[in-house]
């Protein structure tokens, strides 16, 4: 960890704990990280929209309608990809 | 994201592009803590138009339109995910797509650009957020330093790497 001059021992411990947490997050399976990204999007969206930014969290539970298709490869409607129960928050 | 990857795999199988790989912030997230992003950047390897040097992304957008996925400003929403095909098309992004690592995402095969290529692309792009991404990859990703050195040398990025890491 990089040196932190002028930081109290308690703050240094907090920073070290945060760094450990970040490394733990880095070791999550990719699918878990994608879920975390979507959580971040949802958390950030309200704030960003209040600042006038047009953002949209990923809608990975979107059900694709076959009626939208015009080509030969028609897609049939599918069930939602993500579970309906809310996962515990992974981002502190 | 699984369905979006299935669509990309299908496009590759149909020959719309010869190969694709996840890049950008989501690729970086593969190696580091999750970071906020609203787009899925995808590098693609395309054939030049009519055998010449000109590369066109039009076939990708046409193929996606035929499948019912419409463009929205700079992205195409594929199964709820805004996908962007970065237009900065050069030998480095070609190489990143060509040498991307194969992974499995929830049973769907896909590819993600190597951390070393992501660092090089960040150096090349040079934004403040790219600098932050390089720092995060250095701290959290397991880097092949020999590969990184080779990439930086071949793409003339050694000096910039030194400036960013002093």
In this predicted model, what pLDDT tens digit does every residue of B56-106 receive, in sequence order? 788 999 999 999 999 888 899 999 999 999 865 789 999 999 999 999 999
Please report which confidence band the pLDDT of residue B41 belongs to, taking 50, 70 and 90 as the band edges: very high
Residues from chain B that touch A57, judged by Cβ atoms under 8 A, are 38
Residues from chain A that touch B3, judged by Cβ atoms under 8 A, are 60, 64, 78, 81
Residues from chain B that touch A62, judged by Cβ atoms under 8 A, are 79-80
Q: CATH for B2-165?
A: 3.30.460
Chain A residues with at least one Cβ partner in B under 8 Å: 22-23, 25-26, 28, 30-31, 33-34, 36-37, 40-41, 44, 55-62, 64, 68-71, 73, 75, 78, 81, 90-91
pLDDT, greater one: B61 or A73: B61
Beta bridge partners of B21: B43
Q: Is residue A91 part of a domain?
A: no
| Mode of pairing for the β-strands spanning B81-84 and B40-45 | parallel
Q: Is residue A20 part of a domain?
A: no
Q: Is residue A42 part of a domain?
A: yes
Contact B76, B42 (CB under 8 A): no
A24-54 confidence digits (pLDDT tens): 999 999 999 999 999 999 999 999 999 999 8
ipTM value:
0.88
Q: Is residue A83 part of a domain?
A: no
Domain range holding A40? Answer: 29-60
Contact B1, B105 (CB under 8 A): yes
Straight-line distance from the first to the last Cα atom of chain B, in angstroms, rounded to the nearest whole number: 38
Residue B20 has pLDDT above 70, yes or no: yes
Q: How far is A52 from chain B (nearest CA, A)?
A: 16
Q: What is the pLDDT of residue B90?
A: 86
Q: Is residue A86 part of a domain?
A: no
Contact A49, A55 (CB under 8 A): yes
pLDDT, greater one: B45 or B115: B115
Please count the structural domains in chain A. 1
């Amino acid at each position: 960890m990089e040196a932190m001059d002028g930081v109290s021992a308690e703050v240094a411990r907090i920073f070290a704990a945060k760094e450990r947490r970040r490394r733990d997050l880095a070791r999550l399976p990719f699918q878990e990280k994608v879920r975390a990204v979507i959580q971040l999007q949802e958390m950030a969206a309200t704030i960003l929209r209040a600042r006038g930014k047009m953002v949209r969290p990923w809608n990975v539970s979107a059900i694709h309608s076959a009626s939208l298709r015009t080509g030969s490869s028609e897609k049939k409607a599918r069930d939602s990809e993500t579970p309906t129960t809310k996962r515990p928050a992974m981002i502190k | 994201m699984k369905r979006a990857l299935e669509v990309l795999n299908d496009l590759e199988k149909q020959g719309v592009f010869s190969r694709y790989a996840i890049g950008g912030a989501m690729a970086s997230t593969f190696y580091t803590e999750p970071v906020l992003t609203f787009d899925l950047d995808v590098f693609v390897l395309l054939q030049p138009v009519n055998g010449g040097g000109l590369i066109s992304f039009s076939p990708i957008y046409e193929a996606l339109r035929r499948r019912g996925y419409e463009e929205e400003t700079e992205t195409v929403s594929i199964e709820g995910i805004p996908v962007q095909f970065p237009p900065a098309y050069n030998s480095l992004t070609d190489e990143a797509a060509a040498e991307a690592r194969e992974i499995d995402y929830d049973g769907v095969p896909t590819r993600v650009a190597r951390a070393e290529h992501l660092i090089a692309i960040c150096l090349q792009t040079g934004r403040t957020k790219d600098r932050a991404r390089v720092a995060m990859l250095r701290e959290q990703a397991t880097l092949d330093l020999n590969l990184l050195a080779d990439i930086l040398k071949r793409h003339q990025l050694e000096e910039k790497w030194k400036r960013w890491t002093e």
